[in-house]
Structure formats: structure tokens, C-alpha cells
């Protein structure tokens, strides 16, 4: 039986896939047979980090276009890679027959010592299904408050679904040991205070410029820079995994997939297929308001409305000047108001304009 480990994160951009790939390589370098499953939906980050772009992935297997053994990238630097890509999302909508066929395909794979799942970031149903089905989870975070908050959010959801095994934490992109310790303690104290789930430290990943260089060259830094600080951190994490074997982490592949698919079936919301509305007949067709989605026209109408409001106000002021003792009606309720005939008087427009100018002064 393989030791199944799910590596995940609360947010993207924390180096989760890089750690998944390089930890897999470190384990393989120590004589273990490792398979890395790229379950990062749509992004295919493993492909980017390795420079390998397979023509087929798990979606091809699900649609019957290929066998699982056909899509496996064999012996890349000592590990096997299964490109999941968009096929992972389609797992949730498989029929019972398709599910059985997929599980059978995984059972036919050769035995591995470690089977590592690199999930997407966040708390989607697909991510949670891999986490809940796995007996070992590695949670990757950084020292940034947003990363710690998102890591806590993921732990909160796992706790809600009663995940009862300790989650191993790796703090990545660390500039000092003190900063890493502070970030981990902050996360652990918050988890211990509010959640039932437990966390434990697995290791840290020091900030290393060679990591970026390895991404550009599309070669894992563990292979390209074996003596760099990042590779030493990866080696330390791999050694700790080996030294602390979790007996519950070893589980039959069939049981893993049964639990994974059962969670998806219960919590995945299938996309509803909407039927487009019938086109209106020429007699009943209604012309869509062209101003609805046109901000330029809408803004122009607002300006016109403001000008009209100002004009109405000025007209009322003129009427008040003509006859200050006669109120100006706001509404006539459909009736023409009967007003007394105004007395003839001389209009002092200069005085009125001066008064209007003062009333509109921005300092008042």
C-alpha cells in the first residue's frame, strides 16, 4: 500500500506545486518509488515547472480516449507524474460505471511507496474531496497575513467536516527562522483556540533566488541546484516524512478513491443546464433599452437631468421675484391652480443675478 499524501494551500502563489514536485524528487532520491498526481485544475503548474506538456491527461481517460497507463509521464527525474488537469473537475460528474472503471485503472498501477496529490488552492469541493480522503495533509502557507488567514479558512472547513488527523504545516518563502516561527505559532494558537482540528510543524522553506531561476529554466531546483538552501529545506522535509511514518497514511488506493468520490457526490453542486429562452416573434419583440449597458449614454442622461433640475429651480426663483407673496405650487394633481393676477412691477435682473451668484458661491 502506498502512503497517500495530499499537499494543498488556502491561497494560490505560496509555492505549493513547487514543494509537491521537489519533495517527490527528494523522496525518490532516497530510493522510494513516488507518483505525483497533478490535481491542480486547469493550471497544470507541474507542466510549467518541468517543461513537459503531455498531449493527453485524466480527461482523456475519463472520456475513453486513452488508458491511465498511456498518460503517465514515466520516470521524470525518478518519479512518475499523472497529469490530472481539467479531468479532475469532471470526476464529480462521472457515472457509476465510469467511476468503477477509473478506480480499476488506478488499482492496476504498479505499487508506489508514496502517492502525492498536488491540489488546487482554496476550498473547492474538489480540493476538499482529496483532503478528506487522505490520511495525511501537508498545508503550505507563507508568513503573509492573507496566506495565514486563507490557511485557517481551509482548516476551518476541514474541521467542519470532522477531519480528525493532524495537518502538517510548511511555511514557505521564509526570510528568517524567527518570522517562520512567529507565523506558525500564530496559526497554531488560532486553530487551537477555535477549531477541533490539530496542526503540527513539518518544516520551513527559506526564500531562495535559485527557486525563481529554476522556474525560468523549467527544471526543478532540487535537480538544478542540489546544494542551494531551498534544496536543503526540501531534504529536511523529506527526511522528516520518512522518519515519522504515519501508519494511517498507508491506505488502499480503492479506499481513497471511494472516499474521495463519495465526498464529491455529496457536496459537489452540478452545473445546471439552462435552456435558452425562445426568440420573440416579430409582433411581440421588444427592443432592448440601448442605454441599459451604455455608461456614456447613462452619464449624459444624468447630466441632462441635473441641468433640468437647475433650470426648474431658477424658474421658481424668477416666479418668486415676480410675486414674492404667492407660493409656487410643487404639484397640481392634474388641476390648474388659480392664481391672482400679479401686479405689474419692474424686474431688477441685475439684483437677482447678483443674489443668485452669491447663493451659488462654493464657499457658502
pLDDT reported for residue 273 = 46
With respect to residue 192, please indicate whether it lies within any of the assigned structural domains: yes
In a domain? residue 200? yes
CB 196 within 8 A of CB 158: no
Q: Of residues 195 and 312, which shows the higher confidence score? A: 195
Tell me, yes or no, whether 273 lies in a domain.
Answer: no
Question: Contact 129/94 with Cβ under 8 angstroms?
Answer: no
Q: Is residue 301 part of a domain?
A: no
pLDDT tens for each residue of 291-318: 445 555 655 665 676 666 666 766 666 6
Residue 126: how many CB atoms within 10 A of its CB?
A: 24
In the structure, what pLDDT confidence band is assigned to residue 153 with cuts at 50, 70 and 90? very high
Establish if 109 belongs to a structural domain.
yes
- 71 or 280: which leads in pLDDT: 71
Q: For the segment 215-249, what is each residue's pLDDT rounded down to a tens digit?
A: 999 999 999 999 999 999 999 999 999 998 766 66
pLDDT over threshold 90, residue 9: yes
Question: DSSP letter at 204?
Answer: E
- What is the structure's pLDDT at 133? 95
- Grade residue 282 by pLDDT with cuts at 50, 70 and 90: very low
Please indicate, yes or no, if residue 250 is contained in any of the structural domains: yes
Positions of E strands within 103-198? 114-121, 136-142, 167-174
Q: How many domains does the chain have?
A: 1
**275 domain-assigned:** no
Q: Which domain holds residue 211?
A: 3-267
Query: Which of 105-109, 186-190, 191-195 shows the lowest per-residue confidence on average (mean pLDDT)?
Result: 105-109
88 falls within a domain: yes
**What are the DSSP E strand ranges found in 2-113?**
3-9, 34-39, 73-76, 79-83
**DSSP structure class, residue 360:** T
Read off the CATH number of the domain in which 50 is found: 3.40.50.300
Amino acid at each position: 500500500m502506498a502512503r497517500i499524501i495530499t499537499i494543498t494551500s488556502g491561497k494560490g502563489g505560496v509555492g505549493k506545486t513547487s514543494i509537491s514536485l521537489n519533495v517527490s524528487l527528494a523522496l525518490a532520491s532516497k530510493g522510494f518509488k513516488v507518483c505525483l498526481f497533478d490535481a491542480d485544475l486547469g493550471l497544470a503548474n507541474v507542466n510549467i515547472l518541468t517543461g513537459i506538456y503531455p498531449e493527453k491527461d485524466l480527461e482523456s481517460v475519463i472520456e475513453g480516449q486513452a488508458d491511465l497507463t498511456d498518460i503517465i509521464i514515466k520516470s521524470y527525474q525518478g518519479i512518475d507524474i499523472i497529469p490530472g488537469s481539467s479531468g479532475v473537475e469532471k470526476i464529480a460528474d462521472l457515472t457509476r460505471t465510469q467511476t468503477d472503471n477509473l478506480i480499476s485503472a488506478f488499482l492496476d498501477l504498479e505499487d508506489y511507496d508514496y502517492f502525492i496529490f498536488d491540489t488546487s488552492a482554496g476550498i473547492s469541493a474538489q480540493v476538499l474531496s482529496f483532503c478528506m480522503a487522505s490520511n495525511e495533509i501537508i498545508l503550505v502557507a507563507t508568513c503573509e497575513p492573507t496566506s495565514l488567514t486563507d490557511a485557517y479558512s481551509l482548516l476551518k472547513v476541514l474541521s467542519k467536516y470532522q477531519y480528525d488527523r493532524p495537518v502538517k504545516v510548511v511555511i514557505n518563502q521564509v526570510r528568517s527562522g524567527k518570522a517562520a516561527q512567529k507565523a506558525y505559532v500564530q496559526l497554531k494558537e488560532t486553530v487551537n483556540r477555535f477549531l477541533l482540528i490539530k496542526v503540527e510543524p513539518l518544516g520551513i522553506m527559506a526564500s531562495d533566488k535559485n527557486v525563481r531561476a529554476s522556474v525560468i529554466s523549467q527544471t526543478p531546483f532540487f535537480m538544478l541546484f542540489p546544494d542551494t538552501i531551498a534544496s536543503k529545506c526540501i531534504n529536511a522535509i523529506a527526511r522528516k516524512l520518512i522518519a515519522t511514518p504515519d501508519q494511517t497514511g498507508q491506505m488502499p488506493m480503492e479506499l481513497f478513491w471511494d472516499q474521495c468520490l463519495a465526498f464529491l457526490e455529496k457536496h459537489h453542486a452540478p452545473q445546471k443546464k439552462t435552456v435558452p429562452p425562445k426568440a420573440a416573434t416579430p409582433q411581440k419583440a421588444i427592443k432592448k433599452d440601448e442605454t441599459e449597458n451604455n455608461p456614456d449614454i447613462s452619464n449624459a442622461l444624468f447630466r441632462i437631468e441635473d441641468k433640468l433640475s437647475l433650470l426648474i429651480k431658477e424658474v421658481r426663483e424668477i416666479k418668486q421675484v415676480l410675486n414674492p407673496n404667492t407660493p409656487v405650487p410643487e404639484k397640481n394633481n392634474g388641476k390648474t391652480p388659480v392664481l391672482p393676477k400679479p401686479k405689474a412691477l419692474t424686474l431688477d435682473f441685475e439684483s437677482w443675478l447678483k443674489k443668485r451668484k452669491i447663493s451659488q458661491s462654493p464657499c457658502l
